[in-house]
Amino acid sequence: MKCPFCNFPDSKVVDSRPTDEGTSIRRRRECLRCLKRFTTYETVEHLPMMLIKRDGTRQPYNRQKLLAGVMKACEKRPVSQARLEQLVDDVEQKLFGTLEYEVSSKAIGELVMEQLKEIDEVAYVRFASVYRQFKDINTFMEELSSMIREK
């Protein structure tokens, strides 16, 4: 680590401890030339996840867009905001756990539908109707029939 006082490229770590939030490490360093001390923070680097849309375009993943879609599906349903946040957290944990930097919107949609089916069937059907782009009532009825068969 380069010294901020004399720009010498070498220093030694004198003390290391986690920050209060536990998201980074605070290090006290001492320059090997001028002997002055300075503090550095070490954090995990997060690369932005890219979303591959149906049409092949790419855009940065946006948690708020996903949450808004789930909230719309659960509108006027007995599902708490906390539960929706948890659903999005669970989906993100699965996505970021793969260590892939690009994910298809299809994969995200399937993860959301899998969880919505457990939470609220009406919200699941609403989300599926938009996500799977039901063209007519027959497609809609096929989805409902498959849900009934699963029960």
Percent of the chain past pLDDT 70, that is, above it, reads 98
- Total number of domains in the chain: 2
Is the model's pLDDT at 86 over the cut of 90? yes
In a domain? residue 144:
yes
Same domain (yes/no): 105, 66: yes
Give residue 95's domain range.
50-150
Taking Cα atoms as reference points, which of 44, 45, 95 lies closest to residue 66?
95
Residue 99 has pLDDT above 90, yes or no: no
Residues 35 and 63 in one domain: no
Q: Using CA atoms in the order 86, 88, 91, 92, what is the torsion angle rounded to 10 degrees?
A: -110
Cα four-point dihedral sign 6, 10, 16, 18: positive
Residue 46 pLDDT: 67
Residue 77 lies in a domain: yes
Q: What is the mean pLDDT of residues 82-102?
A: 87
Strands, E, within 1-151: which ranges?
11-18, 24-31, 37-43, 50-52, 58-60, 102-104
Q: How far apart are the first and last CA of the chain?
A: 61
Q: Is the pLDDT of residue 132 over 70?
A: yes
